[in-house]
Structure 1
Amino acid sequence: MNFKFKAIDHIQLAAPKGSEELARHFFNRILGFAEIEKPEVLKKNGGVWFAYGNVQIHVGTEDPFSPAKKAHPAFEVENLEALKQHLLKYAVDIIEDNNLPGAKRFYVADPFGNRIELLEWDK
Structure 2
Amino acid sequence: MIATMSSEVSIRTQAIEAAIASLDSNFFRALCEPARVAVLKRVMQLGRADVTAIAADLPQERSVVSRHLQVLLDARIVRATKVGRQMFYEVDGPAIIARLEGILKHTQGIAAHCCPATSL
Structure exhibiting the larger radius of gyration computed from Cα positions: 2
Higher strand content, 1 or 2: 1
Which structure has more RCO (C-alpha within 8 Å, separation ≥ 6)?
2
TM-score category by the smaller chain? under 0.3
Higher helix content, 1 or 2: 2
- Using structure 2 for the length normalisation, give the TM-score: 0.26
